[in-house]
Amino acid sequence: MRRLSLLSVLVLGLSLVGVHTVQAAAGTYSALGDSYSSGTGSRSYYSDSGSCQRSPYAYPVLAAQQKGATLTFTACSGARIADVQNNQLGSLNASTTYVTVSAGGNDAGFSSVITQCAKPWPTTCTTEINNANNTIRNTIPGRLDALYNAIRSRASSARVIVVGYPRIFNGEECNLLARISPGEQAELNKSADLLAGVISARAAAHGFTFVDPRSAFTGHAVCDDTEWINGLSDPISESYHPNRTGQSAGYTPLVTARM
């Protein structure tokens, strides 16, 4: 009984630092990426994750639990593609079984674009959306290639799952403090589609699996009756990110099905 008790304490301690050991025999899993992978928006985070906002409700934690895999959780809120490449690949090696990665949204500057779109009339965000689209077309593909090459060079045998982003808006205005017009919402969704196409193409070019959450989140956007994505929130960092249901019912089934 004492041995079992000590084992339970050890497992609990590992969970608190973001490394979730369930069944080592099921393989090792490294979760890389930005806020959509760290779990920003779930409103509960590991105390040692700081501004990275890694959440026990994020899909990497839930997927690791379902698969019985040993998780190394390095995804970090605010991470750009270069941040993932430079700061998050330390756990990858030839024996890594699974890798998930989401990256590109911060390179496109979606957070600042949405902030501009949310400003009161007559402020518009057409220029910011066009700039983001140009970055998606011309800059992000090369950055993703460099990241994906680095992942494969370190994790030569891993199943790599590239995780995309949902469309955030449904065309309705339901928040007086962030009145993004239906037209702006449509353009932002088009940018999400553009980014999905680029990420999917680069993932396929490297032999990686692409997880596309856009269909799963349809009917669960900001202002829908059952939101899987937060609207304008307090604190502001929670805004326009998947909530706990978005992570558990949206992302987790899609990811685990491909692991």
Which one from 35, 49, 91, 239 is the annotated catalytic residue? 35
Dihedral sign computed on CA atoms, order 84, 86, 88, 94: positive
Question: In Å, how far are 96, 124, 219 from 27, measured between CA atoms?
Answer: 7, 49, 35
Please name the amino acid found at residue 239. S
Catalytic residue among 42, 102, 239, 241: 241
User: 3-state secondary structure string, 166-178?
Assistant: CCCECCCCCCCCC
206 a catalytic residue: no
Rounded CA separation 187/6 (Å): 55
233 is catalytic: no
Give the DSSP letter string of 154-199: H-TT-EEEEE-----B-S----TTS---HHHHHHHHHHHHHHHHHH
Question: What is the Cα Rg of the chain in Å?
Answer: 18
Torsion angle defined by CA atoms of residues 100, 38, 36 and 109, in that order, rounded to the nearest 10 degrees:
-110
Active-site annotation, residues:
35, 241
